[in-house]
Amino acid sequence: MDTVYSNLCVLGGGAWGTALAQTARRAGRSVMMWAREPEVAEAINTRHENTDFLPGVPLDPALRASASLGEALAGAEAVLVVCPAQALRAVLAAAGPVWPQGAPMVLCAKGIEQGSGLLMTEVAAAALPEVAQAVLSGPTFAHEVALGRPTAVTVAATDPDLAERVVATLGTKTFRPYAGTDPVGAEIGGAVKNVLAIACGIVEGLGLGDNARAALLTRGLAEIMRLGRARGADPATLAGLSGLGDLILTATSTQSRNFSLGLALGEGQALATLLDGRRSVAEGVHTARAVGALADRLGVEMPICQVVNALLEGTQDVSAAMDALLSRPLRTEID
Ligand SMILES: NC(=O)c1ccc[n+]([C@@H]2O[C@H](COP(=O)([O-])OP(=O)(O)OC[C@H]3O[C@@H](n4cnc5c(N)ncnc54)[C@H](O)[C@@H]3O)[C@@H](O)[C@H]2O)c1
Ligand SMILES: O=P(O)(O)OC[C@H](O)CO
């Protein structure tokens, strides 16, 4: 068996799809991107820049893009799926008829599907049951990855050979994937940290201080651990790059769209204004509702995520939300 996938397709022309495509080129792979917007594909092909979603980063001129799924997927040996979480089902339904025979998918979106409460691997298994899956997740701001700054991620698959082959395909000196066999753990960390990043942004915007942020991060990790346990995840995965690592990054940096959105909310801006006309995705806004419903269904206590959901739904204001969190009964730390 070949040790790497030489020809890749990246489904998704946003910031992260572009950064991963650039990373794969840096690793020496042939890469074809699918961008939903023809003008994005055009800009990548002619200006070698994703002017809409990752402006200012020069791209490898050998990186090609198309707005046609059939053209983008033709001949791919593996497919990186990098669309927003809520669009995954529709994108895979459209890609199914032209999916390259035998090519596995690497799921790179971070979220939980609204309505179903399904993880990305579960949505993908329903859409394309024959296609093997890996999950790529971790602390990764697209801009830094695209520039080749040192970054480490988790690549998890139930089939260890698949995970190892994806690692070998994408790994470079500065992009360091670590193989794992717990995709569910990798997904839960990556999805829930976006909701917690909004919470940390709100705390920052309210000026509640560094102690409050540390408390929120740590109790937020406890929520990730509880949901992970209920879904059979390995706690070691949740404490690794795709869990704690990504929580630290996303919940403490204004580079994060989720943290920045929370910060603006905490400073008093209205959610509708913040979302109006926005093209880039803040996954936590969508996952908050999904994780709230999932926690209820599984009987998992996730008060921080529930409060973020109530805030975003408009059923609680910021001061009532803080009051709800601070009024919770005192209890043992480890549960
Ligand atoms: N940007 C990052 O730093 C980063 C890092 C790691 C993971 N991710 C994850 O990658 C996924 C994609 O995020 P991004 O940052 O690349 O996006 P982005 O915000 O840069 O761009 C939005 C993308 O979503 C696409 N899109 C919007 N609505 C769509 C629909 N209905 N159907 C199909 N596509 C649609 C747009 O075409 C565009 O490609 C998200 O789940 C995100 O959490 C992002
Ligand atoms: O900008 P955000 O908040 O979507 O975060 C991007 C990445 O998920 C960070 O790992």
Q: Whose structure tokens read 């093209």?
A: 279
- Would you say residue 319 has pLDDT above 70? yes
- Would you say residue 305 has pLDDT above 90? yes
Q: Is the CB of 287 under 6 A from ligand 1?
A: no
Q: Which atom of ligand 1 is nearest to the CA of 142?
A: 3
Ligand 2 pocket residues where CB is under 6 Å = 110, 139-141, 194, 197, 246, 249-250, 256-258, 283
Domain boundaries, the chain: 7-181, 184-326
- Would you say residue 185 has pLDDT above 80? yes
- Would you say residue 119 has pLDDT above 70? yes
Residue 109: pLDDT band by 50, 70, 90 thresholds? very high
Which overall architecture, per CATH, does domain 184-326 show?
Orthogonal Bundle (1.10)
- Would you say residue 96 has pLDDT above 90? yes
Q: What is the pLDDT of residues 207-266, one digit of tens each?
A: 999 999 999 999 999 999 999 999 999 999 999 999 999 999 999 999 999 999 999 999
Q: Which atom of ligand 2 is nearest to the CA of 138?
A: 10
How are beta strands 64-66 and 151-156 bridged, if at all? unpaired
| Within this chain, domains 7-181 and 184-326 share the same CATH topology | no
- State yes or no: is 173 an active-site residue: no
Average pLDDT of 80-89?
Answer: 98
Q: Which atom of ligand 1 is nearest to the CA of 83?
A: 12
Please check if 34 is assigned to a binding site: no
Q: How close is the Cα of 86 to the center of ligand 1, in Å?
A: 10
Please check if 173 is assigned to a binding site: no
Query: Which residues, listed in sequence order, are joined to residue 107 by a DSSP beta bridge?
Result: 81, 135
User: 7-181 domain in CATH 3.60.15.10?
Assistant: no
CB 194 within 8 Å of CB 250: yes
Structure tokens at 255: 């580079």
Residue of 11, 16, 88 to mutate, ligand 1, most atoms within 8 A of C-beta: 16
Please check if 47 is assigned to a binding site: no
Please provide the average confidence, as pLDDT, over all residues in the chain.
Answer: 96
CB 169 within 8 Å of CB 5: yes
Residue 181 DSSP code:
S
Q: Is the CB of 34 under 6 A from ligand 1?
A: no
Question: Which of 262, 247, 250 has its CA nearest to residue 312?
Answer: 262
Handedness of CA 224, 111, 307, 216 (dihedral sign): positive
Question: One of 26, 29, 89, 193 is an active-site residue; which one?
Answer: 193
Ligand nearest to the CA of 252: 2
Q: What is the pLDDT of residues 239-253, one digit of tens each?
A: 999 999 999 999 999
Residue of 34, 83, 105, 143 to mutate, ligand 1, most atoms within 8 A of C-beta: 83
Please check if 70 is assigned to a binding site: no
Q: What is the ipTM of this complex?
A: 0.99
| Sheet with 151-156: strands ordered across | 64-66, 30-34, 7-11, 78-81, 105-107, 133-137, 151-156, 175-180
Q: What is the DSSP string of 259-271?
A: HHHHHHHHTT--H
User: What's the predicted TM-score (pTM) here?
Assistant: 0.98
Q: Whose structure tokens read 């790059």?
A: 241
